[in-house]
Amino acid sequence: MPGQDVWVKPEHVAIIMDGNGRWATARGLPRSAGHKAGVEALQRAVRAVGDRGIPWLTLYAFSSENWSRPKSEVSDLMGLLKFFIRRDLAELHRNGVRVRILGEREGLQKDIGALLREAEALTRANTRMNLQIAFNYGARDEIVRAARKAIAAAQAGEFDRLDEAVFASMLDTADAPDPDLVIRTGGDQRLSNFLLWQAAYAELVFLDCRWPDFGEAELDAALAQFGSRQRRFGGVVARDAS
């Protein structure tokens, strides 16, 4: 496998999939074509990460701020989500992938909510790989929702002292390891309200390629960058991810 001997393997990779619209515009295509190509890149990324033996992958699919985009574009994105789940869910299940959805569920269209629940229910017992899809997700919203859960749990006497571990158990990512590596495509260098709590000590890799062009070579380049860095987690001595 390309690059296998030069990078330390992370346990958890998270990806901000950016650049679909610009990819399409550069080719004189409608933005919807970019989003469709982005779904194909998503499928490749899940397969490539699994092939490299990385057990956790989180993808930023649709942020809570994306609802402000034109209605036609939002409709296209919803259609592609349905297409991805209906087309690829059976394959993910056969390959032992557990699907988990991050983000606010309340207020979603009934058919979307039903598909998300179906994906989670069908794959719940799978253990080969964990795929978290951040949909209708914003990290600030997640933290506020977790704070509300913590207040309710404290009032019910469920814990005596609120610490980081207790608070983390209230997040959408409860029981998932924090990401070791966050990759963003598209050239921008920011987290855009993605996993703000969980990515506190993640290594960040920003790629100029737009998401539809992301493939095995780009993944291995990001993994090589990750493997070349020393992770100290606020201390002095570097610690390996695996």
Q: 16 and 192 in contact (C-beta within 8 Å)?
A: yes
Neighbours of 106 (CB within 10 A): 7
Residue 2 — pLDDT band, cuts 50, 70, 90? very low
Looking at residue 174, what is its pLDDT? 97
Which of 20, 66, 160, 240 is labelled catalytic? 66
How many independent structural domains does the chain possess? Answer: 1
Residue 240 — pLDDT band, cuts 50, 70, 90? low
Whether 6 shows a pLDDT value over 50: the answer reads: no
Strands 129-137 and 181-184: unpaired
Residue 7 lies in a domain: no
Tens-place pLDDT, residues 144-172: 999 999 999 999 999 999 999 999 999 99
> Can you say whether residue 175 is alpha, beta or left, with left for phi > 0 and alpha for psi between -120 and 50 degrees?
left
67 three-state secondary structure: helix
What is the rounded distance in angstroms from the CA atom of residue 194 to the CA atom of residue 77?
19
- Top-confidence residue, 59 or 65: 59
Whether 230 shows a pLDDT value over 50: the answer reads: yes
Residue 2 lies in a domain: no
Does residue 66 have an active-site annotation?
yes
Whether 105 shows a pLDDT value over 60: the answer reads: yes
Does residue 175 have an active-site annotation?
no
What is the rounded distance in angstroms from the CA atom of residue 128 to the CA atom of residue 94?
10
Q: What is the pLDDT averaged over residues 37-63?
A: 95
Which of 18, 76, 88, 180 is labelled catalytic? 18
- Top-confidence residue, 67 or 186: 186
Instruction: Give me the domain span that covers residue 38.
Output: 12-228
The CATH number that applies at residue 106 is 3.40.1180.10
Q: 35 and 212 in contact (C-beta within 8 Å)?
A: no
Residue 234 lies in a domain: no
Give the pTM.
0.90
Residue 1 lies in a domain: no
Residue 119 lies in a domain: yes
Looking at residue 242, what is its pLDDT? 52
Residues contacting residue 15 through CB under 8 Å, at least 6 positions apart: 45, 57, 58, 59, 60, 182, 183, 184, 185
Residue 4 lies in a domain: no
Residue 57 lies in a domain: yes
The mean pLDDT value of the chain amounts to 91
Looking at residue 36, what is its pLDDT? 92
Whether 134 shows a pLDDT value over 80: the answer reads: yes
Residue 240 lies in a domain: no
Whether 12 shows a pLDDT value over 80: the answer reads: yes
Q: What is the pLDDT averaged over residues 93-114?
A: 92
Looking at residue 77, what is its pLDDT? 79
